[in-house]
Chain A
């Protein structure tokens, strides 16, 4: 998913890129809480019957499920933010905070649009200058990359 905003009066643009996310963080947390309630209720029920050894396994399993859901949701909740103004272009990548960032001088930047190696394979978009390029939106599908490339080129030329 690509969203673009023009956020300043002096021709600055921000592109926020994020992969397709088929479930929101809130829905995922609700699902997890519901599953924990069911699994732990079963464990508590057997504990009350004197069969307490079910409960530790329920707890362990819920920890494993929580960890797995957290890991996979991190993958789909990551974001890339490209901020362009007349002087600087900044690329930031991360999940809930900025994990990595790059900065280039806008007048020098180029957009590299590498076509797919074979039909059905993803093409690559990269932004950078002087031989140092950062791939952006690797999780986007080709039509989204088309749109992103068009909009980025438009901004770069305008600047």
Chain B
């Protein structure tokens, strides 16, 4: 007997097909794994692009005097390097990880809004193409630093600033759409039994990160729009001559910018909280305190923005408030570091590459945290402000912090994604090469900063020459190490020893316990039961 079944749901038969063939697979895909892969590749390309600009900076600073580039071009390099690394490398990498992992970790078949997911990715290549094109425009690209303070970006900004503003709007739209998608997915699509307090820490930290993004992205959009109206429509939001206030620009920028720092580090905390228990073969110590610490960090991140502005001249009461509030952040951050160390305490530890990068993160991120504490002390910051000490601080947080966690996440989950184990020997070489190089690169910058070398200058006094030479050598070595990483990535994707479904002996979580390696194109079409 023939039967005709009436289907009134959109996804009938949907789960039976695999990926489309050819280039259009990547253009039209709504699959969270495909989009995650696209984000990760884009961020790697941006890492190399931003890294190339860092090489120009370190080449010029190899010795005092002007050797290779004009000061204006140097300023463009520092500006674009910062913008590309923050908005092009770190943020999309974490969104890529979220795309790959969040649905698999909560037992959902895909993201809540897959078409919007496709759109939020495909906006980005155009945004970065626009941003990159400014370097070839008359007057050059943005040269006012990644903080684009007024009036440098308004009264004195080059014509290309308008393209920069448009690019920032596009990046913001992409981030907002990505965040909305992540919030909707985590809230609405958890598998039966996956209560909020059973979610992996990576999912928790991403939920909080998405919330932060939602809260601060309108501030960034408003700031760049007011820049635009100041430049072309006769307003004076930030123009003192028209009754505006340039310092207000710094307030609005850092009201966005400080939570942005946590947007770039909270998902890293989630990654480390997944890796450390696996290789210590113990459950994470203090799960709930980790959740509350992440939320506390997020809340505090809205209350500390003016510690970036101690030297603009604010009342002593203001300085005291922002100093104490800033130092308060070390409490929940300390809780996290304490919990990771306690998880490892008496654990049956092994040191595979993801664990090495996670340990590198814990040690070096803590160094960056301590130098941040020093910078948070208002009277001391008067000396350190705008010196290379600040450059050293935020590179310890963002390179050995955020970037290291992204690399750790790659080594940890790539066997699950591809079904191939990476080459452990090459992974370990990558870790030690990167770790030695990154410390040779950034540690001396503390010394030159404390001695008074200002940031964002192409030339410097002779007494800083040795430390700058050491720093540049470290920079070139670190850059080469990431080319080596690219080789490891391609080698792992193309083949390798077959990974088991669980991949790591101590791995837990739905993605390791319920899915094969690699997972099917459409995973969890049947919701798993969470115990």
A-side residues, CB < 8 A to B, are 20-23, 28, 31, 35, 38-39, 42-43, 46, 49-51, 53-58, 60-61, 64-65, 68-69, 71-73, 75-76, 93, 100, 102, 112, 114, 117, 120-122, 124, 126, 128, 131-135, 138-139, 141-143
Are A72 and B225 in touch, CB under 8 angstroms? no
Residues of B within 8 A of A142 (CB): 526
- Which residues from 1 to 30 on chain B have a C-beta closer than 8 Å to any C-beta of chain A? 1-9, 12, 15-16
A residues near B183, Cβ cutoff 8 Å? 65, 68-69
Q: Given A102-B6, A131-B3, A134-B5, A28 and B187 touching (CB < 8 A)? A: yes
CB proximity of A124 to chain B, nearest CB, Å: 7
A141 contacts which chain B residues (CB < 8 A)? 192, 526-527, 529
B219 at the interface (CB under 8 A from A): yes
The answer for the CA separation of A114 and B16 in the assembled complex, in Å, is: 15
Identity of the chain B residue whose Cβ is nearest the Cβ of A123 in the assembled complex: B526
Pair A121/B525 contact, Cβ less than 8 Å? yes
Whether B219 contacts A69 by the Cβ 8 Å rule is no
Extra contacts besides A64-B180, A72-B189 (9): CB < 8 Å: A46-B219, A49-B251, A53-B229, A54-B219, A57-B219, A65-B214, A72-B113, A124-B5, A133-B6
Residues of B30-82 at the interface with A, using a CB-CB cut-off of 8 Å, are none
Q: How far is the CA of A46 from the CA of B251 in the complex (A)?
A: 10
User: Which of B6, B192, B211, B229 lies in contact with A134, CB distance below 8 A?
Assistant: B6
Q: Are B214 and A31 in contact (CB under 8 A)?
A: no
Q: Is there contact, CB below 8 Å, between A121 and B16?
A: yes
B252 near A51 with CB under 8 A, answer yes
A8 to B307 CA separation, bound complex (whole angstroms):
70
- How many cross-chain pairs have Cβ atoms below 8 Å apart between A and B? 154
Complex A-B: 18 CB contacts under 8 Å = A22-B187, A51-B237, A54-B222, A57-B221, A60-B218, A61-B214, A65-B180, A68-B113, A69-B188, A72-B112, A72-B188, A75-B112, A76-B188, A117-B16, A132-B4, A134-B8, A135-B7, A138-B9
A contact residues around B272 at 8 Å (CB): none
| Contact status B190-A22, CB under 8 Å | yes
Nearest-neighbour CB distance to chain B for A57, whole angstroms, equals 4
Contact of B8 among A55, A68, A100, A143 (CB under 8 A): A100
Residue ID in chain A nearest B237 by CB atoms: A51
Contacting pair A42 B218 (CB below 8 A): yes
Q: Are B5 and A39 in contact (CB under 8 A)?
A: no
B residues less than 8 Å from A71 (CB atoms): 113, 184
Q: Which residues in A have their C-beta under 8 angstroms from that of B184? A: 68-69, 71-72
Evaluate contact between B248 and A49: CB separation under 8 angstroms: yes
Ranked 9 nearest A-B pairs via Cβ = A54-B222, A57-B218, A22-B190, A58-B218, A57-B221, A72-B112, A72-B184, A53-B222, A133-B5
Residues of chain B touching chain A, judged by Cβ–Cβ distance below 8 Å, are: 1-9, 12, 15-16, 112-113, 116, 176-177, 180-181, 183-185, 187-192, 194, 211, 214-219, 221-223, 225-226, 229, 237, 244, 248, 251-252, 255, 520, 525-527, 529
Q: Write the chain B residue with the least CB distance to A39.
A: B215
Among A22, A58, A71, A133, max chain B CB count under 10 A is at A22
Cα separation A60 to B7 with both chains bound (whole Å): 36
What is the chain A residue whose CB lies nearest that of B9? A138
Are B211 and A46 within 8 A (Cβ)? no
Q: Which residue from B112, B190, B218, B526 sits with its C-beta under 8 Å from A39? A: B218
Known: A22-B189, A51-B252. A42 touches B5 (CB 8 A): no
Given contacts A20-B192, A64-B180, A72-B189, contact A120 B222 (CB under 8 A): no
C-alpha spacing A57/B215, complex, angstroms: 11
Query: Which one of B192, B215, B218, B252 has the highest number of Cβ atoms from chain A below 10 Å of its Cβ?
Result: B218
Q: B3, A120: Cβ atoms under 8 Å? A: no
Collect the chain A residues with CB atoms within 8 Å of residue B219's CB: 42, 46, 54, 57
List B contacts of A31 (CB < 8 A): 187
Contact B218 A43 (CB under 8 A): yes
**Contact with B15, one of A121, A132, A134 (Cβ below 8 angstroms):** A121
Please give, as numbers and ranges, the residues of chain B lying within 8 Å of A72 by CB-CB distance: 112-113, 184-185, 187-189
Contacts of B214 in A (CB 8 A): 35, 39, 61, 65
Which of A53, A76, A114 lies in contact with B225, CB distance below 8 A? A53
Cβ contact within 8 Å between B5 and A135: yes
Docked pose: A53 CA to B227 CA in angstroms: 10
Q: State A61–B187 Cα separation when bound (angstroms).
A: 18
Query: Which chain A residue shows the least CB distance to B235?
Result: A53
A141 to B514, CA, bound (A): 15
Contacts of A132 in B (CB 8 A): 4, 6
Residues of A within 8 A of B8 (CB): 93, 100, 134-135
Flag if A138 contacts B12 (CB, 8 Å).
yes
Contact with B222, one of A38, A57, A139 (Cβ below 8 angstroms): A57
Q: Which of B189, B216, B525, B529 contacts A76 (CB 8 A)?
A: B189
Chain B nearest CB, measured from A131 CB (Å): 6
**B215 pairs with A46, CB closer than 8 A:** no
Contacts of A28 in B (CB 8 A): 187-188
Q: Is the CB of B188 within 8 A of A23?
A: yes
**Shortest beta-carbon distance, B10 to chain A, in Å?**
10
CA distance A47 to B364 in the complex (A): 40
Chain A residues, CB < 8 A from B255: 42, 46
Q: How far is the CB of A62 from chain B (nearest CB, A)?
A: 9
CB distance from A43 to the nearest CB of B (A): 6
Q: Nearest Cβ in chain B — how far from A69, in angstroms?
A: 6
A135 to B221, CA, bound (A): 47
Centre residue among B4, B8, B190, B222 by max chain A CB count within 10 A: B222
The minimal Cβ–Cβ distance linking A109 to chain B, given in whole angstroms, is 12
Name the residue of chain A whose CB is nearest to the CB of B528. A141
What residues of chain A lie closer than 8 Å to B215, measured between beta carbons?
35, 38-39, 42
